[in-house]
A and B are shown apart, each in its own frame.
Chain A
Amino acid sequence: MFETTELNKKNRRNERLVRAVLGTMTGLLVLPVVLILSMLIYKGGPVISFEFLFTSPTNGMTAGGIFPALLGTVLLVVVALLASVPLGVAAAIYLSEYAPDNWTTRAINLAIINLAGVPSIVHALFGVGAFVIFFKFGTSILAASLTLAIMTLPVVIVATRESLQAVPLAFREACWNMGATRWQTIHRVVLPNAITGILTGVILEVSRTAGETAPIMFTGAAFFLPLLPQGVLDQTMALSLHLFVVATQVPGMPERLPYGVALVLISMVLLMNSMSIALRMYLRGKKKW
């Protein structure tokens, strides 16, 4: 009754073929990442040491460490998140839980989508005009971070909104029927269940923000500073800019140094992304409904 026909054989052969093709293409995806990482580890690995990470550059940046740049990147990202996360989460809560479906809301959503598509160099120029000049912050961590914040805002908003909407409507209705206000429902039931999703999105965004060069180049990051920044109105060095400088602007640079810097930068990115993935897997395992 279940003999194999010609049609069966053909289908099974096609299935194997398609599976092989798709699998190979997926495997090819991994190739660039593996190649880049291998190259960086091979060429830049020897440079990495405790001194490299925690001391300042010397000898016209051809020797020494990258600590000021590392610190600078951390500061820039932290301040940028302090600005974009509360604002982004609040906006997403409003859009997801309160906003009526009218033209104003649609315009706001359109604005967010467009903001996400603005090239980083345009963000940079906007940052100079708005924060450095108009608000008179001058070239500073504050100006650079705010520029970065505006870049990350759309992603935070979308990640938050998706996390909120992943919580079923039935839970909200159950609360509303009991006489809870929207806000009571949000902060007791919806938000606690969306937090992990929001965090996953934010952590992912950190890795992107840490690598941006253009937005910080004109607004607060500098090639070389003799002192560490003392406050948000000071300038700072940054890893991404530092990489650009040592790779292209300094004569007599030993070959390994830029690779070392790149390795540190990409390790940060990989670390953040792994945290985000781990968090997402933890989320999936901890099914709450």
Chain B
Amino acid sequence: MAERAIKLDVRDLTIRYDELTALEGVTLDIREHEIFGIIGPSNAGKTSFLKAINRMDMFNPQMSVQGHISFNGLDTRKVRNVYGLRRRIGVVFPLPVGLPLSVYDNVALAPRLAGQNNRAELDVIVERCLRRAALWDEVKDRLDSLGSLLSGGQQQRLTIARALSQEPELLMLDEFSIAVDPVTTMRIEEVLKELKQEITIILVTNLVQQARRLADRTAFFLDGKCLDIAPTEDLFTGEVSDERTRHYVEGRFG
């Protein structure tokens, strides 16, 4: 099996919030077309990791990021067009966020920001993204209704539809299934498996079994350090370098 191209190359990443070190010395790479899982207990630094990748630390003056991250070979810390970088990376948060715009406008927002104003083409994009997010059937007759008034599970799928509308090269999901029921979670997991063929996915999850179902390789974060990275099955069959990984996976803590 040929080595796939490296999408994201992280070297010696250290993230601090004022005096608190959230992440230290993380080095890893993420390959194209893989689902890269990140598991670990809360406060392990997983969310900070994602924030550093798309330069959201820009909005938090207390956050300092050191180390090297390159996306498609470009140093993300030095890239001039930060907004362009963010447009190519889609993010889904744990808590559903339906913007107080119509469902249609929610999904059309990213294309419009990118300059797409043709109504017919926007219609196509909106339908495609809502279908992929497994939300189309439920909202197709009320695209005018407010996105912020949908149910939690629907809003989460709307968030995914918005992320997909960016046509991202990298999709980062941060514990997306927290506010979502198991059936919807399953539907979204199916979508992710299909999407893998087109884009690269980082899946941060505290549902260890979800990582097992979806991720090609998985990293284990604990207390700000990346303790293990391995093909997912190895992680779960116990062939790991650090004992704590095995304990976490077995459910002994977390």
Contact = CB atoms under 8 A, between A and B. Distances in A.
Interface of A: 100-101, 170-171, 173-181, 184, 188-189, 193, 287-289
* Interface footprint category on B: 20 to 34
B28 interface: no
B73 interface: no
A174 B162 contact: yes
A288 B54 CA distance: 29
Interface stretch (B83-91, B133-141, B214-222, B242-250): B83-91
A164 to B, nearest CB: 14
17 contacts: A170-B95, A174-B93, A175-B99, A178-B90, A178-B110, A179-B86, A179-B88, A181-B83, A188-B109, A189-B99, A189-B100, A189-B101, A288-B148, A289-B98, A289-B100, A289-B146, A289-B148
Contacts of A181: 83
B166 interface: yes
A179 B112 CA distance: 12
B171 to A, nearest CB: 12
A173 B99 CA distance: 11
Contacts of B88: 179
A220 B59 CA distance: 47
A139 to B, nearest CB: 47
B56 A176 contact: yes
B149 A289 contact: yes
B83 A170 contact: no
Contacts of A175: 99, 109
Nearest to A181: B83
A189 B148 CA distance: 12
B61 interface: yes
A103 to B, nearest CB: 14
B146 A177 contact: no
A101 B91 CA distance: 27
Contacts of A174: 93, 97, 99, 159, 162
Contacts of B183: none
Contacts of A189: 99-101
B20 interface: no
B36 to A, nearest CB: 19
Given A173-B93, A179-B83, A289-B98, 16 more contacts: A100-B61, A171-B97, A171-B99, A173-B59, A173-B97, A174-B93, A176-B59, A177-B54, A177-B86, A178-B87, A178-B162, A179-B84, A179-B110, A184-B113, A188-B109, A288-B149
A188 B163 CA distance: 17
Interface in B144-178: 146, 148-149, 159, 162-163, 166
Closest 5 CB pairs of A and B: A179-B87, A179-B86, A289-B148, A288-B100, A177-B91
A287 B88 CA distance: 33
B56 A177 contact: yes
Nearest to B98: A289
Interface in B91-120: 91, 93, 95, 97-101, 109-110, 113
Contacts of B90: 178
B220 to A, nearest CB: 25
A179 B97 contact: no
A171 B100 contact: yes
A288 B166 CA distance: 25
A174 B107 CA distance: 12
Contacts of B98: 289
A177 B91 CA distance: 7
A168 to B, nearest CB: 9
Contacts of A180: 83, 109, 113
A101 B87 contact: no
A184 B163 CA distance: 17
